Amino acid sequence: MDLMLTDRVALITGPAKGMGAAVTRGFAQEGCRLILAARDILAVEPLAGELRGAGTACRVVQTDITQPEDCARAARTSLDAFGRIDILVNVAGGTGTIGKSGVETTADEFDATLALNMGGCFNMIRAVLPAMIEQRYGKIVNVGGTFGMRGRAGRLAYSASKWGLRGITKSFALEVGAFNINVNYVAPGMVDGPRFRDKVCADMAARLGITVEAAAQFHAEDYALKRITTDRDVANACLFLASDVSRQMTGVDLPVDGGWAAL
């Protein structure tokens, strides 16, 4: 299926770390022109160089998404470079405290997690919406997580921030639908990769006295499809919601988790 994304302008936050790199490559492969917004631009430049070498028009802009003025600068960079902003994919975020109960989590830790995972997306959406409203076209994809759909003990701040991001998504979807702008939410489950293998599985392996591979399989058995999500699975969901193939979908939660949120 042709997603018809060629020459669309996509602004992607968190474009080079974790699943962000797969999302970025996915949009490049579909022929999009890219604005890559990241706090650590040195981490982005190798990927940007790779994409430019393959013929992708690409700009990198240093952006701390918790700062509204940085988000505004990223939007201006897109308008100056390409004249429009068609797509915003909010990948950037953080896990916050892990393994602490709600009582153990400090107010500063809680506030910092919400400021990044909710406030950062809010700031970026506000920055791009004037251009999208003027052109009467836009696709906004917020990458959240299934812990924002089922909750998780020991991850209170993170879970709360992802639940809140769902509310931001739905409210903006209702407000800007009349301008032909879609706003949706992708909810990855556990995503295979270095952090999953080296941290999550390694911790479980040490605790249970099993191998890392056995720990990964233990997680897979918890899902209806009996396999772990890959970063490309997440990228494909973002591409779908950023395309006109999904033109009649807005305000939706799309789990990409092998069925975990449904169980």
Quick one: 206 and 120 in the same domain?
A: no
**Active-site residue, 158 included:** yes
For residues 55-59, average pLDDT: 97
pTM: 0.94
Range of 220's domain?
A: 192-228
Would 123 be classed as within a structural domain?
Answer: yes
Cβ-count burial of 76 within 10 angstroms (0-12 exposed, 13-18 middle, 19+ buried)? Answer: middle
**Amino acid of residue 80:** D
* Beta-sheet strand order (sheet of 253-256): 58-62, 33-38, 9-13, 87-90, 138-143, 181-188, 253-256
Quick one: 144 and 18 in the same domain?
A: yes
Quick one: 109 and 224 in the same domain?
A: no
Q: What is the pLDDT of residues 165-182, one digit of tens each?
A: 999 999 999 999 999 999
Given 137, 158, 185, 223, the catalytic residue? 158
Would 3 be classed as within a structural domain?
Answer: no
Would 2 be classed as within a structural domain?
Answer: no
Quick one: 166 and 204 in the same domain?
A: no
Higher-confidence residue of 222 and 142: namely 142
Residues 6+ apart with CB under 8 A from 178: none
* CA distances, 77 to each of 104, 108, 142, 178 (Å): 41, 32, 20, 26
For residues 49-63, average pLDDT: 97
CATH code, 94? 3.40.50.720
Q: What is the pLDDT of residues 192-212, one digit of tens each?
A: 888 888 888 888 888 899 998
Would 80 be classed as within a structural domain?
Answer: yes
Give yes or no for residue 263 having a pLDDT over 70. Answer: no
Q: Is the dihedral of CA 248, 253, 256, 260 positive or negative?
A: negative
> What mean pLDDT is reported for the chain?
93
The count of domains in the chain is: 2
pLDDT > 70: percent of the chain: 99
